[in-house]
Structure 1
Amino acid sequence: MMTFFPVPYKDELLYSVLARYHVRSGNVSIKATQKDIYGIDSITAIMDLPSHIFRIMENLPVGHRYTSEYLITNHTLYPFYAAFLPVGHAAKVKESMIGDTGGSIYNRIGLMASSVKFNQYFKFCPKCANEEMYNLGELYWHRIHQIPGVLVCPEHNIPLYDSQVPVRGYNKHEYRLATPETCKINTPEMNYADKITDKVINFTEDIEFLLNNSVANKSLNWFKEQYLTRLKELGFATVNGRIKQKELLRSFLDFYGHRLLEIMQSSIDNYNNNWLNDMLRRNNRTSHPIRHLLLIQFLGISISDLFNKKVEYKPFREKPWPCLNPAASHYLKPVITDMELKYGVDSKSPIGIFRCNCGFVYLRTGPDHNDEDRYKKTKVREYGPVWEAKLKQLTEQRLSLRETARQLGADPVTVKKYAKKLDLKTYWIKRSEKVEKGKSPIKQDSTVEKRDGYRGEWLNLKKQYPSKSKTELRQLNNRVFTWLYRNDRDWLNRNSPKLKSIANDNYRVDWERRDEEIYNNALVAVNDMLSVGKPIRITISSIGSRIGIRPLLEKHLDKLPKTKWYLEGKTESIKDFQIRRLQWAVKELQDDGKDLSLWRIFRKAGIRENFQKELMEEAIKLVIGQNDM
């Protein structure tokens, strides 16, 4: 039994308190200290989640006011590890810590199967150590400093350093004290980039919150729903809950960077098989608290809201919303409080129907990603009496159709439609009737201006490159050449370089050497064609066009045996190419979080209806294969 018990310091590990007891007791043998503390001498000294705490309570000095709950909550890492466990799991972990079944703790929490490993050495903050020696005359091990992923001290915002005391010591029963001798900086001064430092500090603050606040344990499904709702708001998931994996992972990696994720033992090297995908997909699997905290910081959810506030899906953010009626005096002001939320049948996107008291009703497809999106509309359902009154006023002012449409924020066709509906007499209708049928001065002027612009560009190109041929000039600006060829061909022919006669040098071709060169170029071309986004059919012509020798391959392939052998193995039939397009379409749709419907796959792959029946079996196999994964 203990005759005294050191008063625990703020954020001190129970391990550290017992280490201080060992020194102050004067016991030479650690076994004697163990008997004082536990009544037996075979207990393993555990830093983070110790067990046998009921034995400590039985051996505390008479008159103490400590409880098992107090020691576990304030002086072990239980609040951190148990925060993301369901209620039943957390209760069993606490029971194991109080009782003699400590061997099951790590399995219950999932740490044995986790890829996030413990720190190898106890960590310390140099400033904390100096202040403790000055104010207390001794050092102690802080809880928060020992959590994997905590890189800075929350008190001083400076990097933590490894001490010389291993977390798993040589003597598993021994409690090692923090001392000035064991807490010396033996490594170069550590500095993190500002971008990393900010994220690390926020990360540490979230851990400090978990250690010092009693959070209500939630089900694993609670966390998944919180994350999924926020993913929808950010556009990383569809409204039906399908996550856009490729976009999410790309943004997640951009946010943290590979280096910081590596330090946090949470690297993502495989886009299809990684901890983030597992965490969001599986309902029955616990994840390390570090990874929950990395995800909530990326999603912009506060640690307090995660546990205490149900995240609601608000694709159009908070009301009130602006009225987008240019005819109203409150144009662009946030006056709309009536919004109906619906979902698109095909796009699976949220659709907001906004109704203003002025009668203006508009639709917007969401979700909104920034404040500017609030001022956009997808479609106007009703213009309302205020807008119609403004239309009447503008027609009486005899403004042009385009000016009227501009002031009303509508296209000319809509303005004419409503003018007819309201039986308004309009200036632009009378004017249009005067224009000679089939002729439009404005259109003629714009066509001439466009033609002169292209002619000028071609002449400038010809002047800039006087030695180049017509074909070479075309390659420099195919846009200009194509327009002139289609619309002004006679002028183009008169104002192009004359065809140069080509001298016919009679020389022998080294076909063997040429075969080797073309073979190497074909290898590169095929690899490039297979790595581009949308599939390109691999044929002799397409490869030849890519490396600029199409006529040579089409006419003289028999003189290039090595190239011919390679191309015969790589070229695709129409059906082979269609199957590859189906494979690409399935992968793209899955990465974008869209349903793998057969019609959607065929449309994405660009397969025409007359080929779909023949390819139906292949498409079904691909869908079944993805669903089984």
Structure 2
Amino acid sequence: MRRLKFFPAPYPDECYYSIFCRYFARSGSTSNKRTIFELFGEAQSLAAFVFLPRRLELVDIWLGADSPVKREKLALDNSCYAYFSTAFTRRLFEGMERKIKTGEPDRSLERRIIQKCRRSHWPERLRYCPDCVREDVERYGETYWHRMPQLPGVEYCLRHGNPIQDSGVTFRQITMAFCPASHALQGLTLQEDAEKKKYRQRYMAIARDTEWLLRNGLKLEGCRSIAHKYKELFMEKGLTTAQGVRYPDRIKTAFTEYHGKGFLKQMFQDKENYLYWLDFAFESVSEHLRPLHHILLMEFLKGSAEKFYEAIPEIEPYGGGPWPCINKVCCHYGKDGAEKISITYMNGQTIGHFRCMGCGMKYQRSRPWQEFEEYADHAVILDYGDYWYRKLRECVEVKGLNQAETAKVMKCTTTTVRKRAEEIGLDLHMNRKSCIYHEKEWKDLDRSQYFRAKVSEALQYQPELTAKELDELVPGAYAWFHKNDFQWLKERLVIDQDKQYWTIWEQEHLKLLKEAYECIKQTGDSDRRITIGWICSTAGLRECEIKGRLHRFPDIKGFIDEVVERKEEWLGRRFMVIAEKKKMAGEYLLLADIKKQMGLKPNTYKKYAVLIQKLIEELNQ
């Protein structure tokens, strides 16, 4: 090869391929093959030059060392190298930087780069903006192929707001041919897809972030660095633990709510599961993400690619202090005053210990994503603090309140009052308003009249009264009625599970479970078996809390029985989906297809061998 007689000066945002097309047109050549050999000295596919800075080692030969057009300029300003660098590993990133600086030939590196920019993700045709074409002709006397319209997700021109149009030039054509834009774009059209028009603002945001990546993508330093930041920002949003353990359903739900299900389905029309790629948003597998995936994730986490780059993640899983106090008798309750003592990690949980500086109450949390109202009544109290105990003593020793009255003042249960009083040796019996008098004082009293009056008094204070609560409020009453008139007492007491509280509890939790089920149906993995554990984790509930009480709550049990899939039902559903695909291809369903697509454990095949064979035979009929 020799130095070229001339080389076109690159235009703004012109892709590398377009520069070669203009060289071909101006050289007067009529043979694509001859020009390819003149430039590269061998047969060379041209399609990848639309996106990537290939064969940079030849630039010095073509132009000479004194030319103002350098390898670095072509790579950064006339290729999509910075954009695609978001999918590069550190090794690939450093290899490409070395190639650009030194000009050393490395065909193996180029092949790996092309693999990252998969052909399956390229558009079918070269694309353009009609207004950009007119401006190019007015300014330069000719038009050229721009970089931006060729990139996935760019459906509107960022400068003019026009929908991007398909040209008549296919990528198959340009594999071994030069197709200058000035020749191909003679008759301009302007058509807009009605479905894409609905999400115009979303597409404009993607175009802005695409342009930012074209200019600044190298600042992100490859997919591993980006994925590490994803982990920190996911944790900041409460979507992973600090150890990187994911909550996949919670991530997919939040992601879908941000972007909109309709928009995501349109973006990934070729995929049945349009959120499959979210499983790659972590360091070990991050090289499988495309730049478009990164843009959507960056917008979800920080609003834009630029804000994502500038963001400094909160390394504190529970955010910055001060944290709210959970002592209901403290002036800092629900506001501030608590400081962090420590953060520990155990079994995938992030456990935080906090203490209020005002009252001394110390408590523990294990779910960073919860709002105050969600954890205030369920946090583990490790130490009630000096102020709480002083207030308890004041209620009993100074004000002379009984257990129920003390619990009302302390805003807790009578059980809590009794246990805490035992800890500090406080005598609660001295203030019992229903205290049993000494035997000598009972001689002139009608016990039946006395206990009936006390029980009636307790029922006015607490209409739903259990035997245990009666024994606390009116000591001795239950024992006396049990011997003398138990039927009278039985008609007025309730058992704990019949309380109105549990009816409300059942309906509230049933609502959460139904919402979680709807969320799973809309955004969950359709291949996954629907289990009670999956529904509970999506609803933010503990599985044991629901599963252990199913016998008490018929509405929840009925719902769970209706929606949770048995293993046999799940196998049948999955087999049917696979069988439909095979039928469309005109093939029979085989056991090998099941093993390949479902990835079941060997024990499952062994246990359900008869059922699996039966299902395959039925579906093949």
- With normalisation by structure 2, the TM-score equals 0.61
Query: 2:544 corresponds to which residue?
Result: none
The aligned residue for residue 524 of structure 1 is none
The answer to whether the 8 A contact 2:353-2:363 is kept is yes
C-alpha distance in 2 between matches for 1:32 and 1:281: 43
Measured at CA, do residues 221 and 59 of structure 1 come closer, stay the same or move farther in structure 2, by a change above 3 Å? closer
Matched, 1:13 2:28: no
Which among 423, 430, 441 is matched to residue 456 of structure 2?
Answer: 441
Does the C-alpha gap of structure 1 residues 36 and 349 become closer, same or farther in structure 2, counting only changes over 3 Å? closer
Mapped to 1, the partners of 2:163 and 2:175 lie a distance apart of: 29
Q: Is the 8 A contact 1:110 1:287 kept in 2?
A: no
| 8 Å Cα contact 1:127/1:156 also seen in 2 | yes
Are residues 1:53 and 2:56 paired?
A: yes
Query: Which amino acid counterpart does residue 13 of structure 1 have in structure 2?
Result: C
| 1:506-529 deviation per Cα after TM superposition (whole angstroms, max 9, x unaligned) | xxxxxxxxxxxxxxxxxxxxxxxx
Alpha-carbon distance change, 219 to 59 in structure 1, aligned in 2, over 3 angstroms: closer
Q: Displacement, 1:122?
A: 1.9
Alignment of 1:459-538 (within 5 A): none
Offset of 1:298 from its aligned partner?
4.0
1:366 deviates by 0.8
Within 1, Cα distance between the matches of 2:312 and 2:122? 32
- 8 Å contact kept, 1:34–1:40: no
Partner of 2:163: 159
Any stretches of 5+ residues in structure 2 without a counterpart? 438-449, 466-493, 499-528, 534-564, 572-600, 608-621
User: Which residue of structure 2 aligns with residue 351 of structure 1?
Assistant: 351
Instruction: Measure how far apart 1:278 and its partner are.
Output: 5.4
SS at match of 2:196: coil
Per the TM alignment, residue 7 of structure 1 is displaced from its structure 2 partner at its CA by 4.0
Pair 200,394 (structure 1): closer, same or farther in 2 beyond 3 Å: farther
Q: Which moved more, 1:130-139 or 1:117-126?
A: 130-139
1:353 is paired with a residue whose SS is: strand
- Listed as ranges, the matches of 1:173-192 within 5 Å are 173-178=177-182, 181-182=185-186, 184-185=188-189, 187-188=191-192, 190=194, 192=196
1:129 aligns with 2:133: yes
**Paired amino acid for 2:391:** K
Deviation at 1:378, TM superposition (A): 0.8
> Structure 1 residue 72: deviation in Å?
0.5
Code of the residue aligned with 1:163 in structure 2: it is S
* Preserved contact between residue 125 and residue 169 of structure 2 (Cα < 8 Å): yes
Partners of 2:605 and 2:222 lie apart in 1 by 32
CA root-mean-square deviation: 4.9
Give the residue type in structure 2 aligned to 1:440: V
1:315 aligns with 2:317: yes
Aligned amino acid, residue 416 of structure 2: T
* CA displacement at 1:76 relative to structure 2: 0.3
Q: Which residue of 2 aligns with 1:78?
A: 81
| Contact 1:322 1:375 (8 Å CA) reproduced | no
1:319 & 1:141 partners in 2: Cα distance? 53
1:33-48 to 2 correspondence within 5 Å?
Answer: 34=35, 38=39, 43-45=44-46, 46-48=49-51
Report Cα offsets for 1:287-338 as digits up to 9, x if no partner.
3222333344445586457668785654322222122333333333333332
- Aligned identity (percent) is 22
Which AA in structure 1 matches 2:369?
Answer: D
AA matched with 1:350: T
Shift of 1:406: 4.3
Distance 1:401 1:267 in 2: 66
1:29 match: 30
One-letter amino acid of the counterpart of residue 323, structure 1: C
The alignment partner of 1:206 has SS state of helix
> How far did residue 162 of structure 1 move?
1.3
Q: Which residue of 1 aligns with 2:446?
A: none
Partner residue in 2 for 1:368 = 369
For residues 404 and 156 of structure 1, the distance between their equivalents in structure 2, rounded to whole angstroms, comes to 71
Query: What's the CA shift string for 1:389-411, capped at 9, x where partnerless?
Result: 33445554556755643443432
Q: Which amino acid aligns with 1:292?
A: H
- Inter-partner Cα distance in structure 2 for 1:204 and 1:331: 47
Q: Is the 8 A contact 2:87 2:287 kept in 1?
A: no
Q: Is the CA contact 1:362–1:377 (under 8 Å) kept in the aligned structure 2?
A: no
Q: How far off is 1:211 after superposition?
A: 1.2
CA change 1:197–1:324 in 2 (3 A) is farther
The alpha carbon displacement at 1:128 in A equals 3.2
Letter in 1 for 2:180: R
Match of 1:119 in 2: 123
| CA displacement at 1:30 relative to structure 2 | 5.7
Q: What SS class does the counterpart of residue 83 from structure 2 fall into?
A: helix
- Secondary structure of the structure 2 residue equivalent to 1:80: helix
Paired positions, count: 468
Structure 1 residues 197 and 317: alpha-carbon distance in aligned structure 2, compared to 1, 3 A threshold: farther
After superposition, what is the alpha-carbon deviation per residue over 1:438-483, rounded to whole angstroms, capped at 9, x for unaligned?
9632555599899xxxxxxxxxxxxxxxxxxxxxxxxxxxxxxxx9
Contact 2:24 2:178 in 1 (8 A): no
Which amino acid is the alignment partner of residue 366 of structure 1?
Answer: R
| Alpha-carbon distance in 2 for matches of 1:183, 1:407 | 82
The offset of 1:14, in angstroms, is 2.6
Match of 2:218 in 1: 215
CA contact (8 A) 2:158 2:204 kept: yes
How far, CA to CA, are the matches of 1:244 and 1:376 in structure 2?
Answer: 24
Q: Equivalents in 2 of 1:82, 1:263: separation in Å?
A: 25
What SS does the aligned partner of 1:215 have? Answer: helix
Counterpart of 1:117 in structure 2: which amino acid? H
- For 1:37 and 1:335, the matched residues in 2 are separated by 76
The answer to whether the 8 A contact 2:50-2:147 is kept is no
* Gap change, CA 1:7 and 1:162, over 3 Å in 2: same
Name the counterpart of 1:338.
Answer: 340
Distance 1:341-1:426 versus aligned 2 partners, 3 A rule:
same
